Amino acid sequence: MRFPTTSRRSSRHSFGLLEAGLTIAGSALAAYFVSRAAVRQRRKVDLQGKVAVVAGGSTGIGFCIAQELVERGAKVAICARHERELRRAQEKLERDGSSVFAAVCDITQPDQVENFVGLVRGELGPIEVLVNNAGTIVVGPISHMDLGDFQHTMDINFYGPLHMLLTVMPEMREQGHGRIINITSFGGKVPVPHMATYAASKFAFVGLSETLRTELIDDGIYVTTVCPGLVRAGSTPNALFKGQHDKEKALFETMANTPLLTISPERLARRIVDAMVHGDAELVTPWVASVQTFLHAVAPTWSSEMISLLNGLLPSRSKSPAGDRRRSGDDIDTGDLTPKHARASETKAEQRYQHRDPGPQPG
């Protein structure tokens, strides 16, 4: 059987169009990566001798970022609210002979922020790198959240970094250069059930950070918005929980210690500092957070429906009035609800990254 000549011509024409389209798409993609590499190289800075401030630098991600900055030759200053954790972090950062400035500072208090920044200027010089990392999280159903929970979370996750930004930005503009890293969350890109207060603060912070990027770049200041997913930083004891406290904590602790879904603080710190050095606009990591963020951006309706189904698998609201009470993770016993591997991973990470006071030791 012979096909009509017109059909063969039509097939060849369609194949030719497809081939041309793929060639154009490939060329465009190659041009994008080449131009992006060129731009990153042009914006690259050497951290040797640069004065870098890490707010929330005594534990977890902040500590690992401070460590990475020290290793790259920066003059580092860290601040946190708790004196003992801060001093332990300082001692660890200085083990290789480096000198790190550390001072207690509650970033929710503008006067303390101004005092800390003034001390850094006097001790190390003008600030050239700012890392906003301090944060908190309240986990539980929205039915158990009240105005105080939202105010508490916004004070630390949004207004705290804002105080630091407003204090440091004028100096950077006057210098004509600077790098700012804002540690937000993929929870500021994607709705996360049982984290309404956290999501509200992080969505606000993402919006602020991305807007600052567009304005400050004319002053030679590059703002990098970092949206990490789950990090194995041993931070569950510091988290706050409402509702069925034991179930909420157990789920949070398990998810935060599942290797394929999470990233280590050291690896995250390296990626963050690398993005800052090259003046990147955004970093979303690990791969799970990247996929979730991408899907929600291109198909928000479908994404929201899928997340709504996930919500049905989470612990239900508590029937007891005690569910309205905010409790810290270190005050909650999950019993057998947390798998042994997750608990062991959490304990190891807490010992390594949290630098908490171990309390009185047996004689």
pTM (two decimals): 0.89
| Distance between CA atoms of residues 53 and 16, nearest Å | 56
Let me know if residue 177 belongs to a domain: yes
Please provide the DSSP assignment of 150-217 as one string. HHHHHIIIIIHHHHHHHHHHHHHHHHT-EEEEEE--GGGTS--TT-HHHHHHHHHHHHHHHHHHHHHG
Sole residue written with tokens 């698998």: 313
Which residues of the chain, if any, have pLDDT below 50? 1, 3, 359-363
Residues catalogued as catalytic: 198, 202
CATH code assigned at 149: 3.40.50.720
- Say if 16 falls within a structural domain: no
Q: Residue 153: what pLDDT?
A: 98
User: Which is nearest to 352 in space by CA: 257, 279, 255?
Assistant: 257
What pLDDT score does 194 carry? 97
Contact 47, 74 (CB under 8 A): yes
Q: Which amino acid is at 340?
A: K
CA distances from 130 to 167, 246, 255 (A): 11, 37, 30
Q: Could you give the number of structural domains in the chain?
A: 1
Task: Note the pLDDT of residue 39.
Answer: 78
In a domain, 1, yes or no: no
Residue 361: per-residue pLDDT: 35
Domain contains 7:
no
If one counts every other C-beta atom within 10 angstroms of the C-beta of residue 229, the result is 24
Range of the domain at 259: 45-353
For residue 14, what pLDDT is reported?
64
In a domain, 137, yes or no: yes
Q: Which of 269, 57, 241, 254 is nearest to 137 (CA)?
A: 241
Q: Is residue 163 part of a domain?
A: yes
Which strand ranges, in their side-by-side order, compose the sheet holding 327-328? Answer: 138-139, 240-241, 327-328
Instruction: State the pLDDT at residue 363.
Output: 30
**Residue 283 identity:** L
Residue pair 127/183 in contact by the 8 Å Cβ criterion = no
Tell me which residue of 29, 35, 28, 44 sits closest to 280, measured CA to CA: 44
CB 37 within 8 A of CB 48: no
DSSP state of 108: T
Q: What pLDDT shows up at residue 24?
A: 79
Other Cβ atoms less than 10 A from the Cβ of 195: the count is 21
Q: How far is CA 240 from CA 8, 94, 119, 185, 227, in A?
A: 68, 31, 32, 17, 21
pLDDT for 32 equals 63
Residue tagged 């020290």 (tokens): 70
Q: Has residue 28 been placed in a domain?
A: no
19 domain residue, yes or no: no
If you write DSSP's letter for every residue of 25-39 in order, what string do you get? HHHHHHHHHHHHHHH
CA 293/CA 228 separation, integer angstroms = 11
